[in-house]
Amino acid sequence: MTTAVITRPGTEDKLDILTADAQYDLSCACGTKDPADHRHRGTDGKWIYPITLPNGGKSVIFKTLLSNACSSDCKYCPLRADRDVRRTTLTPDEIATVFLDYYNRKKVFGLFLSSACIGSADATMARLNNTAKILRKKHNFRGYIHLKVIPGSSNAAIEEAISLSSAVSLNIETPGAGNMQRLSNTKDYLRDIVEPIKLISRLTSRGSRYARVKQSTQFIVGAAGESDRQIVSYAGRLYAGLSMSRIYFSAYQTGLGTADLPGEISPPENSKNVFKREHRLYQVDFLMRKYGFEASEIAFGPDDKLSLTDDPKETWAKSHPENFPLNPNYAAKNQLLRIPGLGPITVSRILKRRKQAKLQKIEDLGKFNARL
């Protein structure tokens, strides 16, 4: 048997490498109901990923890294500088050409483009922005582009990215400078991550020139040994103070990082619990974004972790019996949303039907099912 060795990979070879590595970045509105929904390629085996749009709709997106030749030392990342992985880089023209081929054949609706840090943040941003400029100015593409902002980028590079994008994201990764020190020796948490996120928030705030642009971010869950309470507290501040559109959570998987991470030293959670923890954080995120909960209302165990056995809204309800029972004919919308098992759709149905007739029994809400 002979083995082919590609010494000068073509565009498809590079895409095979870089789109596989793009799986570690979830902040492109990838689906969250099913963990597999944001951890696999499209049905054609190439570079299409299913996503949930900010407005709740579903679509597919072309997703790749520009490069995996990283100069950073993030200990949780399998692409960090000291790892022995096959490095490659796409040119802006290569990305634009392949993406437009997929777009013109109606295979995808937009582009999500990220990258490892190639030497410096601004050098990397120049390549990311140039790709978007080729699409916007040379090919007159007016569709969806999501660009990743590299930590440590200059204000000018960030504003240019925003001007070219439908959405941008800079991953916060972990709650607080102390946790970041456990993950990287090169990143300054306030200067490289927090301040740029604040800048993006100002540039995309309501009434601003770029108000149409959405901002998202991502936490790596578990790598720094942080608690769920810390993550939720930071997430609450990102939503309340910085008008973040969406926050994503990626469960750190033991074995991808270095041996001196807190997640590697402590007895590792089994894979089921790792993703269960991620799922609970998504549930809390939904409570804050859609149900009117404040971060301070979320209940945690004595270890400051969310329960792996109980739904966070059910946990809240059990600890606040004074709020129940509720009469669905008179309770306010925000009260109904706090009933375990009731979501925005069911609550809207209750509000609509009680205007027509008094609700007498649960079947009045429609076909009886396990949730009801």
Which residue(s) pair with 333 in the sheet?
A: none
Neighbours of 299 (CB within 10 A): 18
Give me the sign of the Cα torsion angle 62, 66, 72, 75. Answer: positive
359 and 266 together in one domain: no
291 and 345 together in one domain: no
Dig out the tokens for 220 from the structure: 């790596």
C-alpha 228/C-alpha 91 separation (Å) is: 39
305 and 346 together in one domain: no
C-alpha 291/C-alpha 273 separation (Å) is: 25
Residue 263 lies in a domain: yes
Residue 196 lies in a domain: yes
Which residue(s) pair with 214 in the sheet?
A: 167
95 and 209 together in one domain: yes
What pTM value is reported for the model?
0.85
pLDDT in tens, 34-44: 443 443 344 44
Nearest one of 290, 273, 258 to 79, comparing CA atoms: 258
C-alpha 254/C-alpha 263 separation (Å) is: 7
Please report, for the domain that includes residue 162, its CATH number: 3.20.20.70
Average pLDDT over the chain reads: 84
Which of 309, 337, 356 is the last residue before a domain boundary?
A: 309
Residue 2 lies in a domain: no
Confidence (pLDDT) at 175:
97
286 and 250 together in one domain: yes
249 and 353 together in one domain: no
240 and 139 together in one domain: yes
Residue 5 lies in a domain: no
Residue 144 lies in a domain: yes
- Number of folded domains in the chain? 2
Q: Count of alpha carbons within 13 Å of 288, Cβ hemisphere only?
A: 27
Peptide linkage before 302 cis (omega within 30 of 0): no
Q: What element of type H or E holds 314?
A: helix 312-318
Residue 332 lies in a domain: yes
Confidence (pLDDT) at 5:
37
Give me the sign of the Cα torsion angle 25, 31, 36, 41. Answer: negative
305 and 327 together in one domain: no
Neighbours of 360 (CB within 10 A): 8
Q: What's the chain's length in residues?
A: 372
216 and 333 together in one domain: no
Dig out the tokens for 94 from the structure: 């290569």
Q: Are 304 and 295 in contact (CB under 8 A)?
A: no
94 and 138 together in one domain: yes
Consecutive sets of 10 residues in the chain, 372 residues long: mean pLDDT of each?
44 73 57 41 55 65 87 83 81 94 90 92 97 98 96 98 97 95 92 98 95 94 93 97 91 66 51 83 95 95 93 94 93 94 89 91 72 63
pLDDT in tens, 14-33: 777 767 666 666 555 444 44
C-alpha 38/C-alpha 52 separation (Å) is: 10
C-alpha 202/C-alpha 250 separation (Å) is: 26
pLDDT in tens, 145-169: 999 999 999 999 999 999 999 999 9
Q: What is the DSSP letter of 30?
A: B
258 and 359 together in one domain: no
Q: Which domain holds residue 282?
A: 11-309
208 and 232 together in one domain: yes
Confidence (pLDDT) at 283:
95
**Torsion, Cα of 268, 272, 275, 278 (10° steps):** -80
